[in-house]
Structure 1
């Protein structure tokens, strides 16, 4: 009798162990299959020798982590898609406007207006301006693309940034005079030597000062100031007392074709890529650009440059 009890108990324990092993193995296989199906989950956290029912919590955590990652990825893709659609709409508008203008004037000339010498000259001049605008847009887009891909190299040299600023003032003096804007140099006129691509930095300053004039108020002021930032860096500030920028627009100022004033800014001309080019040129120098603005009071754009090494 005692022997039968021992035998029965042994069978029960053995059966329990076999069943437990089979159940654990079954659960492991099922969970591992889920891990393998969801390719981003790692099966390294699963151990077939230690697999128990409580390991479903591991799967739960991994799936939650995976789902959160996918959610963030989807949100990022949605933002990119939204940006892509907006960009395509903007570039379509920027190209369509001058193209239709040129087409309109040429068709009018072909329909008979060409016989009138005065009308012909006026319409050809206007068509020429439309073509120039298209050229600006294409050239600026080409420059940004080359900067992004690293095809447009920098020709760095030591030069006097004060002299470059004065050159830009001379070039834009007449443009500023149309709005009676005073171009001021807030630094004592003495050489400040920097190490950068002279031509590209002149373009940066030109774009920033043109913007300052464009959005500046009549009888206003645009000031350029150079300050020491550190032992080997200077910061150049371009400030105005114009209309300023609302905070909602500041994070997107350097996007291609992004315009704060959707209607009026196009009347001022340009490609709509000026600030985007500025950002790319400064970043190509491994430098930083900043913007501060108070709506209704004015704006300040500033960027850093490396000082020239003392010989």
Structure 2
């Protein structure tokens, strides 16, 4: 961009051209004086000044016209993207614009480079996302196919395996349905098509309901889930009760699945934050590495891929949690220490 003419450059070109012509004119006058030995009068001097002025302004006109014709297309492109609708880009092209064209074109170029990098990131994310969806859907579909083929090959008449294989097929179907429903929920949240039903309710009751729904799963792993709060003291918040129940259930479920294999302890705590209430779900599991924490809320991201799929999760739970909390214009966070445990927290507005 260093070679772009500024407005002052056109005056320099005009001056150099005019002086060049005057130089030729002076040589011509000198030759006349040497050959004819005639004195150089005022007429020759005045004519020289006139020629200089004429050449200067004619050159200036043509140089400016040349510059305008070369940069007009670029400048119109820049201002058509910057200016609001209804503004004629031609009106913005003046002497001051010419002075600033290098800066504006550089800014425009940097913006386009940033957009290209952003598009590359989006394309990379799209490929990874499609690959993850394909993998997540392929596993239950292939399982269902295998169970059905086994039954069709004679297993249906074998009472020792027919009900077992049908139950496994049903489990894979339920997993497939869960993935599809979670994907639909995320898409609705991201497109703002999922309307929140905001109501005043007791957050402690929601926590108790979530714990009761996961009681059997916790018992299977000998896991204790404790609400670290006086259950008789209500905490009223303004939010979508069903969605917040989904958030709390998901976070407790994750703590059960990825905490200690047996004998774990999960604690649900509430903290008064002036206008908001902070809810924290803490486990004493193996913890999460710091390099994994920034990716936890990404779709299909798994810290331990093999173990996570074996647990039956869809890989979308934390992404849904993040979208639901952000839809309430609140925040969700996580902190973890390897060998100590993990804490997920989110805020809600008091009612």
- Normalised by the size of structure 1, how large is the TM-score? 0.90
* 1:137 is aligned to 2:179: yes
Q: Following superposition of structure 1 onto structure 2, how do residues 1-311 of structure 1 map, counting pairs within 5 Å?
A: 1-36=41-76, 40=81, 46-47=93-94, 58-189=100-231, 190-217=233-260, 218-230=262-274, 232-308=275-351
How far apart, in 2, do the equivalents of 1:31 and 1:307 lie? 58
Cα shift at 1:77: 0.8
SS of equivalent to 1:270: coil
Change (3 A) 1:248 1:44: farther
Deviation of residue 169 (structure 1)? Answer: 1.5
Q: Post-superposition shift, 1:44?
A: 6.0
Deviation at 1:253, TM superposition (A): 1.3
Aligned Cα RMSD in Å? Answer: 2.1
Q: Which runs of 5+ in 2 are unaligned?
A: 1-40, 83-88
Higher RCO (CA-CA < 8 Å; seq separation 6+): 1
Q: Distance in 2 between matches of 1:37 and 1:187?
A: 62
Q: For the Cα contact (< 8 Å) 1:40–1:66, is it kept in 2?
A: no
Structure 1 pair 156/11, CA: closer, same or farther in 2 (3 Å)? Answer: closer
Distance 1:279 1:93 in 2: 23
Give structure 1 stretches of 5+ with no counterpart.
none
- Structure 2 CA distance for partners of 1:124 and 1:24, relative to 1, 3 Å: same
Larger radius of gyration between Structure 1 and Structure 2: 2
Number of matched pairs: 302
For each residue in 1:200-243, what CA deviation from the matched residue of structure 2 results, as whole angstroms up to 9, or x when unmatched? 1111100000011111013221100011011x321111111112
Q: What SS does the aligned partner of 1:277 have?
A: helix
Q: Secondary structure at the match of 1:117?
A: coil
Task: Work out the CA distance in 1 between the residues paired with 2:258 and 2:228.
Answer: 20
Deviation at 1:289, TM superposition (A): 1.1
CA distance in 1, matches of 2:94, 2:198: 58
With structure 2 as the length reference, what TM-score do the two structures score? 0.80
Which moved further from structure 2: 109-118 or 21-30?
21-30
2:347, 2:245 → 1: CA distance? 14
